[in-house]
Chain A
Amino acid sequence: SQQGEEDPQALSIQEGENATMNCSYKTSINNLQWYRQNSGRGLVHLILIRSNEREKHSGRLRVTLDTSKKSSSLLITASRAADTASYFCATESKSSGDKLTFGTGTRLAVRP
């Protein structure tokens, strides 16, 4: 079963603009993670945010977590063409046996 749902499903922006992707989930979590997938490749881990954290930064990435709304957002600032990929949120929870459950992803296209 899939717990995370990303929004929007697809996003197209101009290079230099910011990209925001959202993720909603259903049950209480231990942590939430964001991954990136280039076409036909494996997933790359971007950020892990724990349930007692509200915001984390990594380079041009900013992740927020609102456990009261069961939602998270991933912000990519000053986007580049190389950021073109699919982005997935994944949740780890006791209800999933501490295994990751992935959402359906947001396809981001950054136009040069």
Chain B
Amino acid sequence: DGGITQSPKYLFRKEGQNVTLSCEQNLNHDAMYWYRQDPGQGLRLIYYSQIVNDFQKGDIAEGYSVSREKKESFPLTVTSAQKNPTAFYLCASSTANYGYTFGSGTRLTVV
């Protein structure tokens, strides 16, 4: 089945620690995105990539980093510089003129 897989489903981060969220797609989509969702809120764009080896900052990129070494993969690292990382993180991919396909999300909690 084609789709997007995010892992892990739940992630706990200690203060000062970097953590990496995985996002893999087998849809052959060129574009991939990372969004952050806070309780009762809409989605805010962190980073996006429209082609391999290229990515751009979204609206709230500070404290996050990404890489796009393969078309299928777009991991997100939440660094210690992100002071309020507790949130629900959603990865998506798209192809032109169609809607986005989303993964099932990773819930990150600071402990």
Contacts and interface: CB of A to CB of B under 8 A. Distances in A.
Chief secondary structure at chain B's binding surface:
strand
Contacts of B97: 31, 48
Interface string A78-112: 00000000001000000001011111110000000
B42 A43 contact: no
Nearest to B35: A102
B64 interface: no
A88 B43 contact: yes
B71 interface: no
Nearest to A46: B99
A2 B105 contact: no
Interface in B32-87: 33, 35, 40-45, 48, 56, 58-59
Interface in A18-59: 31, 33, 35, 40-46, 48
Given A43-B90, A105-B41, 10 more contacts: A1-B59, A2-B42, A33-B100, A35-B99, A40-B88, A40-B105, A42-B90, A42-B104, A45-B98, A102-B42
Interface of B: 4, 6, 33, 35, 40-45, 48, 56, 58-59, 88, 90, 92, 97-105, 107
Interface of A: 1-2, 4, 31, 33, 35, 40-46, 48, 88, 97, 99-105
27 contacts: A2-B42, A31-B97, A33-B99, A35-B102, A40-B105, A42-B4, A42-B102, A42-B105, A43-B43, A43-B90, A43-B92, A43-B100, A45-B98, A45-B102, A46-B99, A48-B98, A99-B33, A100-B33, A100-B45, A100-B100, A101-B45, A102-B42, A102-B44, A103-B42, A104-B40, A105-B41, A105-B42
